[in-house]
Each structure stands twice: as structure tokens, then as C-alpha cells.
Amino acid sequence: MGEMTDRKPVVIVDDVHVEYRVLATGKRAGVADARKLLERSRKLRKVHALKGVSFTAYENDSIGVIGSNGSGKSTLMRAIVGLTPASSGAIYASARPSLLGVGAALLKELSGERNIMLGGLAMGFTREEIEEKFDDIVDFAGLRDFIDLPMRTYSSGMTARLKFALATARDHEILIVDEALAVGDKDFRQRSEERIRSIRDGAGTVFLVSHSMGSIRDTCNRVLWLNKGVLEMDGSPDEVIAAYETSK
């Protein structure tokens, strides 16, 4: 499946397993809690979220990740970014992959303008770079008239647009977008899909997690199908999506 190629590998996922310790009540247990609880009862369960996933992503790849809820999509993405440690196996990357998630850096009491500065600095821009990109970000988000208002007054769609515009203002080598395209109206969705394609064309690699097969078909050249923590299929969008849909 694409192993024999001259293209440069960007992300290599090598037999990655991820296990969570989960209480039978559904609550995640901390390390300290886990030991105590094991002694008292057997309610602690291990959930094997990823069971030996391996694949190689190349530059200019735009990879859709599909699967039903709980199939391990988000876990895989978080492992690629380095936020969830692999229980065994390893993930290698040519650059630090970034998850589209600048939202957490923002302060809702402050204006959109201030937040663009703050979010940009958090992503590693310098002040001058942000000032240069400022107009692009505002226009892409379509927030020209509201940029001086505090973010707490924004609607959820406006907030999501600002976050997406900010996060994609940087030339990411490896970008992971987890369900972000579900937000915003149709017009914005089209613009964001275009933005993702242009990142891919700029020698970047994009992972797109989505339940919208339309978005995946429009933006991806390769699809991974995860099923209960196992990589069920890895191939062209048409082929994998067809197999996924008949399996349901």
C-alpha cells in the first residue's frame, strides 16, 4: 500500500498500541487511584484503543481518517502529535505535527484582535509576523466588523472560524484536523477545504478526521479506516469509503 515510492516519508507510525486504564463506571483513573482500586475491587478495565497500527505518510499526502465512534481515530491523532503516549511501538515524524487546536490559548474576555496576537504567539510566530498576517486572518474568518469586540460576545460559529483561520495561518508541515470542518456555514466550509488543499500543495501533509465522507472525498488522496483500534484498510478514498459504507 504505497510502500514502494520515491516520495519522502513524513510520518512513520510503527506498530503503535495505546492502552487506557478505565474504571468500569466510565471514568478514567489516574495512576495512583488505579492501584488502590485494583486492590479493592476488579472494576478497573484496560481499554485497548489502538492495537498495533502501522503506516507511513508521505509529503503532499492528504489522509482522511474514518471509522465509527470509538474506533480510535482521535487517539491515533493525539498519539501522532505526542499528546497520548504509545504503550508500545513508536511514532516518528520529520517535524513536530500540530493539531488544529489553537482555541485553548485564547482568552474570551479579550477582543478578537488581542486573541489573534496571543494565539499567533502561542503557535510560535513573532509579533511582526502576526502583524503581517493579521488582515488575512481577519478576512478569512470574516470577522472584520467584530474584531474589536471581546470573544465572549462571539457566536460559536464565529469563534470556530477565528480558530481555524488562526491555526491555518502557519505553513504547517504536518497538520491534523479533527472534525473542524463540521463547524461554520457552507460558504466557510468550502473556504476551509480550499485552505487544507493549499496546505497540502505547499508540501505539507494533512490528516483529516471526519464523519463527512463528502469532505474526505473532496480533500483527501488517501484514506485510513480504523475499526476497533485496528487499521482495517488503507487505500484510495473511493475504494476505502465504499468498503466502509458497505460494512455498516
Partner 1 sequence: MSLADNAAHEGLKRVGARPPFGVYMAEVWRRRQFIYSLAKFRIESENQRNRLGMGWVVLKPMLNALVYGLIFGFLMADSRPPNFVQFIVIGIFMFEFFATTFSNGAKSITSNNALVQSLNFPRMSLPLSAVTQRLLQFLPCVVIMLLLNLIMGAAPKVQWILLIPLIALYFMFNAGVALITARLTVHFRDLSQLLPFVTRLAFYTSGVFFSIERIAPNNETILRIFDLIPLHEFMSIARGLLIDGADYEVNPMYWLYATVWSVLLLTAGAFYFWAAEERYGRND
**Which residues are near partner 1 by CB under 8 A?**
8-15, 20-21, 28-31, 54, 56, 78-85, 90-94, 96-99, 101-105, 107, 109-110, 114, 117-118, 121-124, 126-127, 150
Nearer to partner 1, 174 or 241 (CB): 174
Give the integer Cα–Cα distance in Å for 176 and 213: 17
Nearer to partner 1, 37 or 213 (CB): 37
β-strand pairing of 44-58 with 9-23: antiparallel
Phi, psi of 163 (to 5 degrees): -65, -45
Residues whose CB is less than 8 angstroms from the CB of residue 200 and which lie 6 or more positions away in sequence, other chains included:
60, 61, 62, 206, 219
Q: How far is the CB of 214 from partner 1 (least distance, A)?
A: 26
Give the integer Cα–Cα distance in Å for 191 and 196: 9
Q: How far is the CB of 69 from partner 1 (least distance, A)?
A: 19
Q: How far is the CB of 238 from partner 1 (least distance, A)?
A: 27
Nearer to partner 1, 106 or 181 (CB): 106
- Sort residue 9 into left (φ over 0), alpha (ψ -120 to 50) or beta: beta
Q: How far is the CB of 245 from partner 1 (least distance, A)?
A: 30
Nearer to partner 1, 2 or 9 (CB): 9
